[in-house]
Structure formats: C-alpha cells, structure tokens
C-alpha cells in the first residue's frame, strides 16, 4: 500500500463523519422513497431510497442500462414512478424548481443565442426583464458577447454553455444533468467541469449529475451514488476539499472504490 493511499484512507476516515453531519444539518431537497420504475415487464429501478440535501452535488454513476438516466427523468418530472414516491421540499404543483440539461444542447436552430436562453424564463419573467436575465447568465457562462449569434456558428462547448445558461436562468433549486459533457473533447470537458463547479458554488443549487466518467464524478461531487441493476449499490461521500486537482492521490482513492464496486473487486 502506497503512502498516498494510506493518506487518502486516513483523510476519508477523519472527514467522512464531518461531511455526513454537515449534510444532515441541511434540509432535504428531495427524497426517493422505495421507488420502483418498470417499462412493461422490465424493471429499471427497484426499491430506491435516496435523500439528497439542499446544496449537495451528487453524481450518479453506473454501467449502461443500470437505471441512472431513468432516475434523473423521474427527478425532473419527465416520468413517474411505477410505485413508491418522489418528494420535493418547498415545491408546489404550480412551480417546478427543477431543470434538466442533456448531453445534446437541444438549442432551437432558428433562434439566436439570447432567444434560446429566454426559453428558460417561460412563465417566470416577462418583457425587458427576460433579456436582462438572459444576458446576465450568458455573462456568467462566458458568452456575454454571443447573444446575437446563431447556434450553428458556435463550437460544441459553447453550445453546451448556452444550454447551461438556459437551464440556470430561472434560478432552479435543483439542476439535473444527464451526461451533459459526454460529447465534448477532453480539454473542453475539463473547462466545462470547472465552470459548472464554479457556478454551483456561487448559486448553491442542488446538482445531480449522471455520468459514465468516474474521474468526473469524484472531481465534481460531494457524494457518488453507484447504481447496479436498478438498485443503489454504493453511496460514497467524497470529503475532498475544493478546488480539487485532477488525478490527485485523494481523488484516485475514491475512483478506485467506485471502480471496485462497478466491477465487483475488493480494494487491497
């Protein structure tokens, strides 16, 4: 066992309890209570119990077809559980405070960048307030000067920044992220991870990220949930101080824990 691994394990032991206490002191943002989801005869999620607290960044990871994207669709209200319930705190039937961002930007090609962001304010703001809010959030994602551009002239990373701005412009309490960085090149992906973390720290919303990338999960999340065959197989706190350094021994230790769970190996 290397010295770095020993140090990481000591850090995990010493700080996990503190992180757990801190999370428990916050109110719960949402809860899955014995949630099962079936499509026909196929059970995709089974008996899921999960509490997520206000302001947490939770990553959900698992192999293809394990049910992680289904969990996110339930959270965003795009589907309903077959049984069990999903309880949102402080959310009325008239005001959904959850927004979702997909792997594809899903921008309107006939609308300019600013108008695409305006869509995120439908039913929330009107008139000149809409454009002011859109310009403000575009500035936060680094596209202050691109509001009159067409989506077709933007790079893939820039289009995802527009999609992020559209998701955030209405100040959601929960942001659901369905592999939004999966199609980006490695360097652009790291830049987007840093942007997402910075905005999350600033706005203090609850974030739930579905990803296949274990390194991305531990770099961004306070907590990583591993789903296997529709069930939660691991719920792992990531008590590493921010800003985090990619490929650090501390993050590598948690990556190994997750990979061992995914491939059913035992960490030495």
Residue 97 confidence (pLDDT): 82
Numbered ranges of CATH 3.40.50.300 in the chain: 3-97+172-262
In this structure, of 92-101, 105-114, 141-150, the range with the lowest mean pLDDT score is 92-101
DSSP string over 81-137: -SEEEEEETT-BTTB--EEEE-SS----TTS-HHHHHHGGGTTT--THHHHHHHHHH
Among candidate residues 89, 98, 74, the one with its CA nearest the CA of residue 170? 98
Average pLDDT, the chain: 89
Name the residue with higher pLDDT: 97 or 230. 230
pLDDT at 216 exceeding the cut of 60: yes
pLDDT at 93: 44
Q: Work out the average pLDDT over 209-215.
A: 96
**Using an 8 Å Cβ cutoff, are 215 and 32 in contact?**
no
* Structure confidence at residue 128 (pLDDT): 82
pLDDT band at 69 (very low <50, low <70, confident <90, very high): very high
**Share above pLDDT 70 across residues of the chain, in percent, rounded to a whole number:** 87
Task: Give Cα separations from 216 to 21, 197, 205, 220 (angstroms).
Answer: 25, 11, 19, 6
pLDDT at 2 over 60: no
The pLDDT of residue 17 is 46
Q: What is the pLDDT of residue 18?
A: 47
pLDDT digits (tens, 9 = 90+) for 5-60: 455 455 555 544 444 445 556 799 999 999 999 999 999 999 999 999 999 999 99
Least confident range of 17-21, 108-112, 223-227 = 17-21
pTM of the model: 0.88
Q: 95 pLDDT band (50/70/90 cuts)?
A: very low
Question: Would the pLDDT of 163 be above 50?
Answer: yes
Does 25 or 180 have the greater pLDDT score?
Answer: 180
126-161 residue pLDDT tens: 778 888 999 999 999 999 999 999 999 999 999 999
Superfamily of 3-97+172-262 according to CATH: P-loop containing nucleotide triphosphate hydrolases (3.40.50.300)
Residue 188 clears pLDDT 80, i.e. is over it: yes
Of residues 114, 63, 89, 75, the one with CA closest to residue 230: 63
Across 187-196, 203-212, 221-230, 257-266, least confident range: 257-266
């Amino acid at each position: 066992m290397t010295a770095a691994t020993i140090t990481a394990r000591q850090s995990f032991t010493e700080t996990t309890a503190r992180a757990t206490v801190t999370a428990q002191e916050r109110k719960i943002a949402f809860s899955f209570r014995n949630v099962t989801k079936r499509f026909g005869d196929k059970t995709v999620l089974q008996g899921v119990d999960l509490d997520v607290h206000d302001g947490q960044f939770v990553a959900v990871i698992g192999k293809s077809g394990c049910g992680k994207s289904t969990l996110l669709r339930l959270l965003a209200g795009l589907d309903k559980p077959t049984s069990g319930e999903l309880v949102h705190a402080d959310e009325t039937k008239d005001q959904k405070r959850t927004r979702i961002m997909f792997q594809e930007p899903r921008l309107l090609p006939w609308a300019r960048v600013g108008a695409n962001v305006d869509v995120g304010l439908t039913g929330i703001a009107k008139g000149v307030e809409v454009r002011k809010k859109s310009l403000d959030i575009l500035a936060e994602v680094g596209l202050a000067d691109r509001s009159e551009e067409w989506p077709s002239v933007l790079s893939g990373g820039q289009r995802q920044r527009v999609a992020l701005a559209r998701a955030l412009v209405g100040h959601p309490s929960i942001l659901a992220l369905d592999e939004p960085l999966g199609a980006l090149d490695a360097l652009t992906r790291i830049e987007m991870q840093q942007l997402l973390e910075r905005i999350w720290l600033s706005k203090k919303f609850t974030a739930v990220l579905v990803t296949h990338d274990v390194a991305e999960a531990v770099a961004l999340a306070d907590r990583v949930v591993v789903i296997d065959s529709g069930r939660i197989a691991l719920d792992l706190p990531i008590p590493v101080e921010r800003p985090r350094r990619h490929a650090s021994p501390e993050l590598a230790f948690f990556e190994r824990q997750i990979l061992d769970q995914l491939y059913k190996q035992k960490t030495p």
